[in-house]
Structure 1
Amino acid sequence: MADLQLDGLDSLVSRLQSMGRVGSRIANNALKKAAEPLQQAMMDNVNLSKYNDIHLRDDIEISRVKTDSSGQRYVEVGPGKQTAWRAKFLEFGTSKMTAHPFMDPALKDSKDKIMSIMASEIRSGLNT
């Protein structure tokens, strides 16, 4: 799963935290919405296999909103349970196959869009 830290949204995040349950709902919706471009970029970057099995492209998922031990919320974006075992071979390669990364490039390509969507969704939620 890709890891992305969002900095620069401190004032919006602090306003959300002061709102309690409503702020929590706004933050969760913003996280899920902002993960969509990353999901799409991963789907676009991964090649289809020639085997008649579920393709990685069809199994890129956005997790439910989770909270870490420090209270930070996050979502995970990446291959689901059915294909995760194969994704690592593509991302990192094997002794017999060169790497064909799709997760890291997708994150790099989507980072600005993710930040923009997060800010937009939070602002929109705070204004309603």
Structure 2
Amino acid sequence: MSKGFEITGHKKIDKLFKQLTDKVQKKVVKKAMRKGMKPVLDEVKQNVPVDTGATKKDIKIRMGKRSRNRIEVQVSSKNDNYIPKFLEFGTSKMPARPFYTPAYESKGDEAKQTTMDALLELIQEELKKGDK
């Protein structure tokens, strides 16, 4: 269920990003990535098979692993919730009814573009705050 993208080589974003402090960089990236994954979240929630609605309600944008130069954001359900995995991949007795993969395939490019736009916008906002 893990899909992703990288944002690299955007010279304007790189130049402006380097002007921010480490703390502000993390805040900006986090906000931009959450904003960027919103179209994928909406699509996943639209596609998820609904019985009681508990699985749909549990699907959220969550922060994943972090390292010095990488932040992971996921559209997922809680780790202890096995039902989405069964729905996505099926079992020996139940056919797969994928909803994560089709959502990412249809909205992945939009998510990347939205993230880049949000990143540029948020960086510029933070730089304006610093000018005051």
TM range (shorter): 0.7 to 0.9
- Which residue of structure 2 lines up, in the alignment, with residue 19 of structure 1? 20
CA distance in 1, matches of 2:28, 2:47: 30
Q: CA deviation at 1:127?
A: 2.1
1:71 and 2:72 matched? no
Residue 64 of structure 1 aligns to a residue whose secondary structure is strand
Number of equivalences: 123
- Which residue of structure 2 lines up, in the alignment, with residue 46 of structure 1? 48
CA distance in 2, matches of 1:65, 1:122: 18
Structure 1 unaligned blocks of 5 or more = none
- Which residue of structure 2 lines up, in the alignment, with residue 122 of structure 1? 119
Distance 1:98 1:65, change over 3 A: closer
- Which residue of structure 2 lines up, in the alignment, with residue 30 of structure 1? 32
1:89 and 2:90 matched? no
Give me the TM-score of the superposition, normalised by structure 1.
0.81
- Output one character per residue of 1:45-101: Cα deviation in whole Å (capped at 9) or x when no partner: 11112xx5x521111011136413x6301112111246x211111111111111001
Distance 1:65 1:81, change over 3 A: closer
Q: Is the 8 A contact 1:2 1:103 kept in 2?
A: no
Q: CA deviation at 1:120?
A: 1.0
CA distance in 1, matches of 2:89, 2:64: 27
Structure 2 unaligned blocks of 5 or more = 126-132
Q: Is the 8 A contact 2:40 2:75 kept in 1?
A: yes
CA distance in 2, matches of 1:14, 1:75: 23
Percent sequence identity over aligned pairs: 24
- Which residue of structure 1 lines up, in the alignment, with residue 130 of structure 2? none
Distance 1:18 1:102, change over 3 A: same
Give me the TM-score of the superposition, normalised by structure 2.
0.79
